Amino acid sequence: MVPSSISLLLLFILIALIASTSANTCTNQTLTDASNNNKVYANCMDLPQLNAFLHWTHNTSNSSVSVAFVATPPRPGGWVSWAVNPTGTGMVGAQSFVAYKGDNGVVTVFPLNIQSYSKMSQNLTIDTWNLRGEEDEGVIKIFVNIKVVENAVSLNQVWQVGPSVTAGRIDPHAFAPENLNSKGPLSLVGTQSISHGVDSRTKRKNVHGILNAVSWGFLFPLGVAIARYLRIFPCADPTWFYLHVGCQMSAYVIGVVGWVTGLKLGSESEGIVYTAHRNIGIALFCLCTIQMFALLVRPNKDHKYRVFWNIYHHSFGYTIIFLGIINVFKGFDILNTTEKWKSSCIVAISALAITALILEVITWIVVLRRKSNTK
């Protein structure tokens, strides 16, 4: 009885999901072009990112395109935008149309020429007319006519959504993969398709995140745990030392590659600075580089300066672990990754921490027994 009830419940859920999916398409939206005797737009498409839709008609008689863009802000009070880019494929150079619903319930729509990440104006480089906006149950629609070159066959389009508007100024959008990949060609002739792939910049961001998560978030703590908990066993000497050095050197090399990747990404992101993440990354590189030299200046065990070397080596090591884990999670927040990646990292670090705690108890037991046997 219970299994059959569960099966029925799953069936109902599946049907509901299919119904909701089929309803959430542009073909189920009936939008008319006010500039063309309220005729239904000739074409529509489900944009591949941000649950947005586009309806359009290419008017060859006057070389223009009538457009209706449909999207939902991530939060009430947020904004949506659609743009064409005559000079590139991304945000810089985009001739945008931004809309949001104000506190008075009125939809405000305005043009935005994104000349750079830090320079914007409302003076577009393209001719437009009939710009207006509507809102219905949280869904915002932007209507506009844009002039295109004669016999144009395609346009570069960019679309976006943002969480809020402050004093009439739109606040920054998220930097999740779907936000960074919300762009593509708009075909004015024939069939329409947009690549669902991830662009090279997003791939490099993901590589940067993975390299640093493996380095600072896992290999460095593992190397410290090996040194801390294996050296108390005589049978593990000198194996523990080579394992420790191998872990730390591997973590350093991987971390440096990730750090350099981050510097490159930062140099390509004009006007976007993650100050805390960047500064912690620089500090980690400096601390870890100094830590690597510890191997070259390590005095013998019976040397009078060995105690000071131990203090320096241990304090730097634990500081690197602490800052590294903090920066890994700051990186997750910047990438706005899905929860599964952050959860996987938490599970890995937690497993390492629990193992370390168990080994810490064992270490103290072994040390205390040795002390009692020497008395």
Write down the pLDDT at residue 339.
64
Number of separate domains in the chain? 2
pTM for the whole thing? 0.51
In a domain, 14, yes or no: no
Same domain assignment for residues 329 and 183? no
Where among 145, 166, 187 does a domain terminate?
Answer: 187
Write down the pLDDT at residue 15.
42
In a domain, 17, yes or no: no
* Residues annotated within a binding site: 208, 244, 277, 313
Same domain assignment for residues 293 and 332? yes
Residue 278 is part of a domain; what is its CATH number?
1.20.120.1770
* Residues annotated within a binding site for heme b: 208, 244, 277, 313
Where among 131, 163, 187 does a domain terminate?
Answer: 187
Same domain assignment for residues 183 and 48? yes
Spatial distance between the Cα atoms of 89 and 84, rounded to a whole number of angstroms: 9
Domain membership of residue 277 as a residue range: 200-374
The residue whose two tokens read 């830090």 is 118
Alpha helices, H only, the chain: 2-23, 177-180, 200-214, 220-230, 239-267, 275-292, 306-335, 339-374
In a domain, 232, yes or no: yes
Over residues 78-125, the pLDDT tens digits come to 999 999 999 888 888 999 999 999 888 899 999 999 988 778 888 999
Same domain assignment for residues 183 and 204? no
Write down the pLDDT at residue 6.
36
Cβ count within 10 A of residue 238: 9
Same domain assignment for residues 98 and 176? yes
Same domain assignment for residues 253 and 164? no
Write down the pLDDT at residue 22.
42
CA distances from 185 to 63, 65, 72, 154, 271 (A): 18, 14, 21, 7, 26
Residues of the chain with pLDDT under 70: 1-24, 190-202, 269-272, 335-340, 375
